[in-house]
Amino acid sequence: MSIEMTNEFGHIDITNDVVAQVAGGAAIECYGIVGMASKHQIRDGLTDILRKENFAKGVIVRQIGEDMHVDMYIVISYGTKISEVAYQVQSKVKYTLKQSLGLNVTSVNIYVQGVRVTNP
């Protein structure tokens, strides 16, 4: 499934994988994030943190009518306030998708898959 946009220059199709990669890249830049986790934790393994090329495995993009919803599966650093990190990820992802792709996201749902101790 893809997102279709039309402007004065022509027609643009943006796939959900591109939206997932941009959202994952924005989330990983936030303070307190260790990495992205797989949405299929039982099948893929609990301890796997996704690399940059696999961010789409940890992000689900759903489009219901005109509304766009993004579900993100993340691993948070030990000692950070989970609610604050989740809020920052939501804000950063919404802002980045609006600025880079021109998409208005209705909701960004955060699923914390784990907490890890990071090396200083």
Tell me the pLDDT tens digit for each residue of 37-71.
877 665 544 456 666 667 777 899 998 888 899 99
Q: 40: closest CA among 30, 48, 28? A: 48
Is residue 107 within 8 A of residue 69, CB to CB? The reply is yes
Q: How far apart are CA 99 and CA 43, in angstroms?
A: 34
Look up the CATH number of the domain holding residue 81: 3.30.70.1350
Res. 80: pLDDT tops 60 = yes
Scan for tokens 């609006």, then name that residue: 98
- Structurally, the chain folds into a number of domains equal to 1
Q: How confident is the model at residue 120 (pLDDT cuts 50, 70, 90)?
A: low
pTM (2 d.p.): 0.82
With residue 4 as reference, give the H or E element that holds it: strand 2-7
For residue 82, how many other CB atoms are within 10 A of its CB? 14
Task: Determine the pLDDT at residue 44.
Answer: 47
Tell me the pLDDT tens digit for each residue of 82-100.
999 999 999 999 999 999 9
Residue 34 or residue 109, greater confidence: 109
What share of the chain in percent tops pLDDT 90?
42
Q: Collect all residues with Cβ–Cβ distance below 8 Å to 89 and sequence separation of at least 6.
A: 27, 30, 33, 72, 74, 108, 110
Sign of the CA dihedral running 20, 23, 29, 35: negative
Q: Which domain holds residue 84?
A: 2-116
What average pLDDT does range 13-22 have in this prediction? Answer: 89
Q: How far apart are CA 48 and CA 107, in angstroms?
A: 26
